């Protein structure tokens, strides 16, 4: 089973830990976010905040490089970590510290190792193991690792917090998602990421999807979140719901991701889509959202009202996107072999029931 087939991603825990390490480096004016700094953050989250650096025989850089089939995911993960850092400082940052190549290698090797099993979200234990293998001088760290039995086995391969955890928690709190307790709503990773554009007082579905679309844009290095990223957001939420055993409530109609899945399009396929289809200059936009994304929400809300269905869901949103085959979302769908007209007719029939 290959990496591309299962869509493995770094968990929110890993992204938040990377963001914390980058933030500390930024505050200190350090030019590089080292593997040792990231490992310190991860160990602190495991309760090893009293562990300090010691000079001791270590491993050093493996020199193996980032596995080729996970390079895109490594870059996306590090961009998300930088995004959290910029949001946390609440001020303009000039040049961000660069990532130590050993950090890139560690994240890549963790992703590649997970691809060999059933894991979908790589958590910080597995990433920590890879980081320690790259560090020059683990010192007392290794005693901590031995004491907590962090072996290179299934204990490392437990699924981490879904990358879409913030959006999922918003929907769960609003009663729009039903199923088992998530268990991470109040966790540090969700709190750390919660700054990312949440629109207070807005419709929770719109708020969650806007935030998730913005995150997908950051993953791809795009300045604005547009309709293409909204499609990706639907797939990402569906991916997270499946892994947590949750599902959307009966209303509003949220069959967008299921309709895409029937056509062979899921998060594993779209998560590395990085083309910026927006025709709008980023400097003219209000916030991180392109005009076509804002328009999609407005039109979906009108459609839901006209159909007497109240609140708009992903079915309304995807219908609006697919009904404009020449729009940015329609072009994205066609790039994956999905005919927007066929998709719109299918969704329209479901919404009319």
Q: How far apart are CA 35 and CA 103, in angstroms?
A: 5
Among candidate residues 221, 218, 215, 220, the one with its CA nearest the CA of residue 239: 215
Structural domains in the chain plus CATH codes: 3-147 (1.10.1780), 166-352 (1.10.1780.10)
Q: What is the pTM of this model?
A: 0.87
Sole residue written with tokens 């700054």? 195
150: left (phi over 0), alpha (psi -120 to 50) or beta: beta
Q: Bigger pLDDT: 252 or 281?
A: 252
Angle (deg, nearest 10), helices 314-322 and 291-306: 120
pLDDT score at 217: 93
Least confident window among 30-34, 137-141, 198-202, 279-283: 198-202
3-state secondary structure of 289: strand
Query: Where are any strands of DSSP class E within 51-162?
Result: 98-99, 121-122
Is the CB of residue 285 less than 8 Å from the CB of residue 271?
A: no
User: pLDDT tens across 244-271, in order?
Assistant: 899 999 888 999 999 999 999 999 999 9
Q: Is the dihedral of CA 68, 11, 162, 116 positive or negative?
A: positive
Least confident window among 23-32, 111-120, 291-300: 111-120
User: pLDDT tens across 314-340, in order?
Assistant: 999 999 999 999 899 999 999 999 999
pLDDT grade, residue 31 (50/70/90)? very high
The yes-or-no verdict on residue 59 having pLDDT over 80 is no
């Amino acid at each position: 089973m290959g990496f591309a087939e299962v869509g493995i991603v770094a968990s929110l825990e890993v992204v938040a830990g990377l963001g914390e390490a980058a933030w500390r480096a930024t505050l200190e004016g350090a030019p590089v976010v080292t593997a040792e700094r990231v490992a310190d953050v991860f160990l602190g989250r495991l309760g090893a905040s009293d562990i300090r650096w010691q000079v001791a025989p270590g491993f050093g850089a493996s020199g193996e490089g980032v596995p080729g089939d996970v390079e895109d995911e490594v870059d996306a993960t590090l961009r998300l970590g930088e995004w959290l850092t910029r949001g946390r400082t609440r001020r303009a940052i000039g040049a961000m510290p660069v990532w130590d190549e050993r950090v890139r290698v560690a994240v890549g090797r963790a992703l590649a190792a997970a691809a060999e099993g059933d894991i979908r979200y790589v958590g910080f234990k597995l990433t920590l193991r890879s980081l320690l293998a790259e560090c020059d001088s683990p010192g007392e760290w290794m005693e901590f690792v031995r004491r907590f039995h962090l072996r290179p086995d299934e204990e490392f391969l437990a699924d981490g917090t879904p990358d879409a955890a913030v959006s999922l928690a918003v929907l769960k709190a609003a009663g729009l998602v039903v199923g088992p307790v998530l268990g991470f709503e109040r966790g540090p990773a969700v709190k750390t990421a919660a700054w990312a554009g949440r629109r207070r007082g807005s419709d929770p579905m719109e708020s969650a999807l806007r935030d998730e679309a913005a995150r997908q844009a950051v993953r791809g290095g795009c300045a604005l979140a547009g309709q293409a990223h909204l499609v990706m957001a639907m797939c990402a939420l569906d991916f997270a719901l499946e892994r947590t055993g949750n599902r959307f409530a009966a209303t509003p109609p949220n069959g967008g991701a299921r309709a895409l899945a029937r056509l062979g399009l899921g998060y594993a396929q779209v998560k590395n889509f990085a083309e910026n289809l927006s025709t709008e200059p980023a400097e003219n936009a209000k916030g991180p959202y392109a005009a076509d994304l804002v328009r999609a929400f407005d039109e979906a809300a009108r459609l839901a009202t006209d159909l007497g269905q109240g609140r708009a869901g992903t079915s309304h949103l995807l219908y609006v996107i697919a009904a404009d085959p020449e729009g940015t979302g329609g072009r994205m769908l066609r790039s994956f072999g999905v005919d927007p007209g066929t998709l719109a007719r299918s969704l329209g029939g479901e919404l009319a029931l």
